[in-house]
A and B are shown apart, each in its own frame.
Chain A
Amino acid sequence: GAVVSQHPSRVICKSGTSVKIECRSLDFQATTMFWYRQFPKKSLMLMATSNEGSKATYEQGVEKDKFLINHASLTLSTLTVTSAHPEDSSFYICSAPSDNSYNSPLHFGNGTRLTVT
């Protein structure tokens, strides 16, 4: 089955620093990847759609200059949280459809637990 690898699984950083999270599709090519954020005991909220070779599409209320997304190849998308603050502490999860067909289900990476101190 489709495998999505996410790294790191856990990161602790100081306020004001930047953190990069990588998301890779291991056995398939992903022209589109999705980045979600999940706060404790809440559901997944879509942050942005990462598009290979073009700009990401951000959801309303998500600051594109704060959450930088780069999708430079068909197997790698990165999310950089810039100038992180404690309120950015959350569980960040990337996902990708296993193929480009309509209705293809999403497969998720293992997530990144970000703690900003």
Chain B
Amino acid sequence: QKEVEQNSGPLSVPEGAIASLNCTYSDRVSQSFFWYRQYSGKSPELIMSIYSNGDKEDGRFTAQLNKASQYVSLLIRDSQPSDSATYLCAVPRGNAGNMLTFGGGTRLMVKP
């Protein structure tokens, strides 16, 4: 089992819809979780971090964490064509808080 797993997609949603991106991780001791957005040919940029079970909202983005199920998701409300990118889930490796392991990424396509 991979340490961090994501559906590669592409996930296609119409403009204005909610995009739901999912990620599962294998290390039960993980305490922090990050979502990055990567446009083609560019480096990743941090969108959200979440550390506690439940939901965390920031503008159109909501991160959801369920440690019991080892599952973290990212919801994008009112999706825009500019949201089209690859979304990477990242989890610290073991007890190394800053050393991140990345999932394979989910490619999101928002169609006008």
Beta-carbon contacts of B35-71 to A below 8 Å, as 1s and 0s? 0100001111110010100000000000000000000
* Chain A: CB-nearest residue to B31: A103
Indicate whether A44 reaches chain B with its CB closer than 8 angstroms: yes
In the assembled complex, the Cα of A108 lies from the Cα of B88 at a distance in Å of 13
In the assembled complex, the Cα of A60 lies from the Cα of B47 at a distance in Å of 29
Whether the Cβ atoms of B97 and A43 lie closer than 8 Å is: no
Whether the Cβ atoms of A111 and B42 lie closer than 8 Å is: yes
Size category of the A interface is 20 to 34
A61-109 residues with Cβ-Cβ distance < 8 A to B are 93, 97, 101-109
* Chain B: CB-nearest residue to A107: B46
B33 CB → nearest A CB, Å: 9
Contacts of B102 in A (CB 8 A): 43-44
- Pick from A34, A43, A93, A101: contact of B43, CB below 8 A: A93
Residues of B in contact, count (CB < 8 Å): 24
Whether the Cβ atoms of A44 and B88 lie closer than 8 Å is: yes
Contacts of B75 in A (CB 8 A): none
Contacts of A34 in B (CB 8 A): 98-100
Name which of A42, A44, A49 has the most chain B CB atoms within 10 A of its CB.
A44
In the assembled complex, the Cα of A6 lies from the Cα of B44 at a distance in Å of 13
- Pick from A43, A49, A109: contact of B88, CB below 8 A: A43
Beta-carbon contacts of A35-67 to B below 8 Å, as 1s and 0s? 000000011101001000000000000000000
Beta-carbon contacts of B14-44 to A below 8 Å, as 1s and 0s? 0000000000000000011010100001111
A3 CB → nearest B CB, Å: 12
Beta-carbon contacts of B84-107 to A below 8 Å, as 1s and 0s? 000010101000011111111100
Indicate whether A25 reaches chain B with its CB closer than 8 angstroms: no
Indicate whether A15 reaches chain B with its CB closer than 8 angstroms: no
Contacts of A104 in B (CB 8 A): 97-98
Q: Which residues of B contact A (CB under 8 A)?
A: 31-32, 34, 36, 41-46, 49, 51, 88, 90, 92, 97-105
**Shortest 6 CB-CB distances between A and B: which pairs?**
A102-B97, A103-B32, A111-B43, A97-B98, A108-B43, A43-B104
